[in-house]
């Protein structure tokens, strides 16, 4: 089981340069601490125009800062929006190679097609085309990363023979993922041999169904690359405190604030009638478990790591039992949790929870055999 941290970089109103800079500075400090504690990944999304919810419009710059300030944690581009109006495939390949170079082979590259009409409409993207362009991106990138000059003739872009520079440190290239919000995307991932990166909270039952089918289908996949990424990571919320009630009070306030921001997003299906987006992107978080002892005073959410260390251990053991190989944690939302409390939560989790699942000396970057000196 691998553990990571996940950033939307949500910013509370009233917006100002000071608060936006503080959100970024806090996130960078969280990455430095997570690196020291042995967390495996630090992921950052790509979003545009999403006021409050996410001000992470240039994740490649944020992740470069992460790479420069850390030593071991892998930097997760979670994920590049794969529509040419936002990101040209050649530029994606170039930027990824540079980030892999600067991080000394620590890049993980997620792919996505965007789910909100605010973003797609802002770039004047036709939602009916996004699935097709995403498919071309994930097939083109392994070609563009080859060690020799290549050419590409496709639907969303073409390129005469050219040498994409620089080259990735990882050979043949960084691990590929696709973000999974709505049901069915995990099948797209499995069929192409790329990792399943959950970016919305799902119930145990729903995640087990997705994970089981992903692992079944990837065994017979037609991979887009010479390497297959068979990992399944799920998104979670983390606030770990020794006092169960304190954990619930702080953590549920953080979860509630983030959920309200999420509910204000304009999903593409709500504004643009298309079969390309058949469900709303973010599913509801796991249902809350019921406290069986009235003296406990509060019910902690099933599956979410908001609680004392024992609650977190029990939740993660359940995720592990259904085939999930990694858990990524949102740590804050709109700065509801004071920075020191976020760092204390990370440290307590690393001390009391992580040893039940992995040894710190086993957290060296994945795929080390594929990283060239």
Tell me the pLDDT tens digit for each residue of 256-269.
999 999 999 999 98
Is the confidence at residue 227, as pLDDT, over 50? yes
Percent helix, strand, coil in the chain, to 5, is 40, 15, 40
Instruction: Name the pLDDT band for 302 (thresholds 50, 70, 90).
Output: confident
The fraction of the chain above a pLDDT of 90, given in percent, is 83
Residue 299: its pLDDT value, please?
64
Is the confidence at residue 287, as pLDDT, over 70? no
How many CB atoms lie under 10 A from the CB of residue 189? 28
Is the confidence at residue 369, as pLDDT, over 50? no
Query: 206: domain range?
Result: 2-370
Residue 282 Cα to chain centre, angstroms: 13
How many CB atoms lie under 10 A from the CB of residue 288? 16
Pairwise CA distance, residues 214 & 27, whole Å? 32
The pLDDT of 198-210, averaged and rounded, is 88
Pairwise CA distance, residues 279 & 95, whole Å? 32
Please write the tens of the pLDDT for every residue from 148-182: 999 999 999 999 999 999 999 999 999 999 999 87
* Closest by CA position to 44, among listed 119, 88, 108, 105: 108
Using CA atoms, how far residue 115 sits from 38, 108, 121, 127, 180, in Å, is: 32, 21, 11, 9, 11
Question: Which residue has tokens 């509060």?
Answer: 298
Is the confidence at residue 284, as pLDDT, over 90? no
Residue 298: its pLDDT value, please?
54
Residue 282: its pLDDT value, please?
56
Can you give the length of the chain in residues?
A: 373
Pairwise CA distance, residues 345 & 29, whole Å? 14
Is the confidence at residue 293, as pLDDT, over 50? no
- Within the chain, strands assigned E span 2-7, 41-44, 74-81, 107-112, 150-153, 158-162, 176-180, 195-198, 232-240, 305-307, 326-330
How many CB atoms lie under 10 A from the CB of residue 306? 27
* The pair of three-digit structure tokens given for residue 254, joined into one six-digit string: 């953080």
How many CB atoms lie under 10 A from the CB of residue 88? 15
Phi-psi domain of 335 (left: phi exceeds 0; alpha: psi -120 through 50; beta: other): left
Residue 361: its pLDDT value, please?
41
Secondary structure (3-state) at 234: strand
Residue 110: its pLDDT value, please?
98
What phi and psi, each to the nearest 5 degrees, are found at residue 112?
Answer: -155, 170
Residue 310: its pLDDT value, please?
97
Instruction: Name the pLDDT band for 223 (thresholds 50, 70, 90).
Output: very high
Average pLDDT, the chain: 91
Please write the tens of the pLDDT for every residue from 2-54: 999 999 999 999 999 999 999 999 999 999 999 999 999 999 999 999 999 99
**DSSP run (H or E) holding 100:** helix 89-102
If 0-12 CB within 10 Å is exposed, 13-18 middle and 19+ buried, where does residue 76 land? buried
Residue 201: CATH number of its domain: 3.20.20.30
As beta bridge partners, residue 6 has: 43, 330
Is the confidence at residue 291, as pLDDT, over 80? no
Is the confidence at residue 245, as pLDDT, over 80? yes
The pLDDT of 288-307, averaged and rounded, is 63
Is the confidence at residue 95, as pLDDT, over 50? yes
Indicate the range of 155-169, 277-291, 319-333, 354-368 predicted with least confidence.
Answer: 277-291
Contact 4, 42 (CB under 8 A): yes
Please write the tens of the pLDDT for every residue from 107-140: 999 999 999 999 999 999 999 999 999 999 999 9
Count of the separate structural domains present in the chain: 1
Contact 79, 40 (CB under 8 A): no
Residue 300 Cα to chain centre, angstroms: 24
The pLDDT of 294-302, averaged and rounded, is 58
Residue 206: its pLDDT value, please?
87
Residue 5: its pLDDT value, please?
98
Indicate the range of 135-149, 185-199, 300-314 predicted with least confidence.
Answer: 300-314
**DSSP run (H or E) holding 35:** helix 17-37
Residue 201: its pLDDT value, please?
78
Please write the tens of the pLDDT for every residue from 52-81: 999 999 999 999 999 999 999 999 999 999
Is the confidence at residue 90, as pLDDT, over 60? yes
Using CA atoms, how far residue 19 sits from 25, 262, 366, in Å, is: 10, 20, 35
> In this structure, what DSSP letter does residue 334 have?
T
């Amino acid at each position: 089981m691998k553990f990571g941290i996940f950033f939307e970089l949500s910013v509370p109103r009233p917006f100002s340069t000071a608060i936006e800079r503080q959100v970024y500075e806090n996130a960078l400090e969280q990455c430095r601490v997570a690196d020291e504690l042995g967390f495996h990944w630090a992921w950052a999304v790509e979003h545009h125009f999403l006021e409050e919810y996410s001000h992470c419009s240039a994740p490649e710059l944020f992740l470069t800062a992460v790479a420069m300030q850390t030593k071991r944690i892998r930097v997760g581009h979670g994920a590049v929006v794969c529509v040419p109006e936002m990101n040209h495939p050649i530029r994606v390949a170039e930027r990824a190679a540079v980030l892999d170079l600067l991080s000394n082979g620590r890049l993980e590259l997620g792919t996505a097609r965007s789910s909100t009409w605010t973003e797609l409409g802002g770039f004047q993207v036709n939602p009916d085309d996004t699935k097709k362009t995403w498919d071309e991106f994930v097939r083109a990138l392994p070609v563009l990363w080859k060690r020799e000059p290549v050419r590409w003739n496709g639907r969303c872009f073409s390129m005469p023979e050219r040498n994409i520079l620089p080259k990735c440190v990882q050979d043949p290239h960084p691990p590929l993922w696709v973000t999974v919000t709505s049901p069915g995307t995990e099948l797209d991932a499995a069929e192409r041999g790329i990792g399943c990166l959950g970016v919305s909270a799902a119930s145990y039952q729903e995640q087990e169904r997705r994970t089981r089918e992903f692992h079944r289908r990837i065994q017979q996949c037609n991979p887009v690359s010479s390497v297959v990424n068979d990992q399944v990571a799920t998104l979670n919320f983390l606030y770990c405190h020794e006092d169960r009630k304190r954990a619930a009070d702080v953590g549920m306030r953080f979860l509630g604030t983030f959920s309200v921001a999420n509910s204000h997003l304009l999903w593409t299906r709500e504004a643009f009638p298309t079969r390309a987006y058949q469900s709303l992107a973010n599913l509801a978080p796991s249902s809350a478990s019921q406290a069986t002892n009235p003296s406990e005073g509060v019910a902690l959410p099933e599956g979410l790591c908001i609680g004392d260390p024992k609650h977190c251990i029990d939740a993660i053991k359940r995720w592990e039992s259904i085939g999930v190989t990694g858990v990524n944690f949102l740590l804050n939302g709109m700065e509801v949790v004071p920075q020191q409390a976020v760092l204390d939560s990370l440290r307590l989790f690393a001390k009391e929870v992580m040893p039940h699942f992995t040894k710190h000396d086993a957290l060296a970057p994945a795929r080390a055999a594929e990283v060239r000196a």
